[in-house]
């Protein structure tokens, strides 16, 4: 009788102890001691999350436990579910971005890093995030002369770079052939030629020039017009013969339009301007919603 009572008490104690723990799953039985510990913790955390779904700390710990045993997809899903509930969890979003990098999903990682930096506490993460991009690109000088060079722009085929260079006391336009490693001067006027860009077919360049402003004023007060230069026949054309200040021209991808910024003396406002290129001169312009269009 004594023996039966003792066995009953031992069985009862074991049962009560087991009830206080999560149910042992087949995963736990086949896992190593470390994995078993994480799996048991995962089971506990799932129960706690079920009881209180808004508790972000439980979800964060659950994702961390998944990562410990290499179940990154489960960790990723856990982070995503948590961030849907509370997108403002910067710590969790940072860990999510880190895991995305480990899983080589750079698009999601970069998007998360960006959201963190744009958040209210983004400054706190700037040091950690910026280090990840400092060595991502190798910077090589293309042109290294004693003169000032600025506003470099690739040709559409990526084989040349066009830029402005300060020489003979004014800015002129140069091109650099990346394959041949040679440069060529394209403009020789005594005025300032700046902000160059290639046409898609490389036949024409567009740039700004101060050559039509003959006032005795300083460099910054000079008005600029938009010019094109045909590199085949060396023909230059002034596209904006007006009293406004125009700059930063760029060709459209099909080569039919040039966009540039214009500051008009009357309105004192900046507009995005489109000039249509064609064999006929520009005859009229129409203004609509701050965009100026000129017909062919």
Q: What is the CATH number of the domain that holds 186?
A: 2.120.10.30
Q: Show which of 134, 158, 193 is a domain's final residue.
A: 134
Which pLDDT score is estimated for 10? 47
Domain membership of residue 140 (yes or no) is no
Q: What is the pLDDT of residue 8?
A: 47
- CB-count exposure of residue 186 (10 Å: 0-12, 13-18, 19+): middle
The Cα–Cα gap between 102 and 111 comes to 15
In 3-state terms, what secondary structure has residue 63? helix
In a domain, 7, yes or no: no
Position 292 scores a pLDDT of 38
Residues 154 and 107 in one domain: no
| pLDDT for res 268 | 41
- Do residue 235 and residue 163 come from a single domain? yes
Rg (CA), the chain: 33
- Backbone torsions φ then ψ of 292, nearest 5 degrees: -105, 125
- Name all contacts of 5-11 with Cβ < 8 Å and 24+ positions apart: none
Query: 261: domain range?
Result: 149-294
Same domain, 125 and 153: no
Residues 213 and 86 placed together within one structural domain of the fold: no
Contact between 122 and 116 under an 8 Å Cβ cutoff? The reply is: yes
**Residue 106 has which token pair?**
């750079």
Q: Report how many domains make up the chain.
A: 2
Strands (E), 117-211: 149-154, 160-167, 170-177, 182-185, 193-198, 204-209
* 155 and 271 together in one domain: yes
Is 143 a domain residue? no
Q: Do 162 and 218 fall within a single domain?
A: yes
Alpha-carbon span 164 to 46, nearest angstrom: 63
Alpha carbon of 244 to those of 15, 210, 238, 261, 266: distances in Å? 89, 12, 13, 10, 9
Q: What is the pLDDT along the chain (296 residues), one digit of tens a residue?
A: 555 454 444 454 444 445 444 455 555 455 577 788 889 999 999 999 999 988 999 999 999 999 999 999 999 999 999 999 998 899 999 999 999 999 999 899 999 999 998 888 888 898 888 877 766 556 678 887 888 999 999 999 999 999 999 999 999 999 999 999 999 999 999 999 999 999 999 999 999 999 999 999 998 889 999 999 999 999 999 998 877 888 899 999 999 899 888 875 444 444 555 544 443 333 333 333 333 333 33
């Amino acid at each position: 009788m004594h023996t039966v009572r003792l066995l009953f008490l031992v069985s009862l104690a074991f049962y009560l102890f087991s009830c206080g723990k999560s149910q042992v799953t087949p995963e736990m039985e086949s896992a190593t001691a470390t994995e078993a510990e994480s799996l048991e913790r995962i089971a506990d955390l799932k129960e706690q999350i079920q009881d209180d779904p808004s508790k972000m700390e439980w979800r964060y710990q659950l994702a961390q436990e998944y990562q410990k045993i290499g179940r990154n997809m489960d960790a990723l899903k856990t982070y995503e579910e948590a961030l849907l509930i509370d997108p403002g969890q910067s710590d969790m979003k940072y860990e999510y971005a880190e895991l995305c990098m480990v899983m080589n999903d750079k698009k999601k990682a970069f998007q998360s890093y960006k959201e963190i930096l744009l958040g209210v506490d983004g400054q706190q993460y700037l040091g950690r995030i910026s280090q990840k991009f400092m060595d991502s690109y190798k910077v090589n000088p293309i042109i290294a002369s004693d003169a000032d060079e600025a506003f470099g722009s690739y040709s559409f085929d990526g084989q040349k770079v066009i830029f402005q260079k300060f020489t003979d006391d004014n800015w002129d336009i140069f091109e650099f052939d990346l394959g041949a490693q040679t440069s060529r001067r394209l403009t020789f006027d005594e005025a300032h030629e700046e902000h160059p860009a290639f046409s898609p077919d490389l036949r024409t360049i567009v740039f700004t020039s101060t050559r039509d402003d003959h006032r005795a004023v300083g460099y910054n007060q000079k008005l600029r017009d938009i010019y094109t230069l045909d590199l085949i026949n060396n023909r230059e054309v002034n596209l904006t013969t007006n009293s406004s200040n125009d700059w930063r021209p760029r060709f459209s991808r099909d080569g039919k339009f040039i966009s540039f910024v214009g500051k008009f003396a009357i309105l004192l406002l900046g507009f995005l301007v489109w000039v249509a290129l064609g064999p006929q001169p520009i005859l009229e312009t129409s203004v609509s919603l701050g965009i100026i269009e000129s017909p062919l």
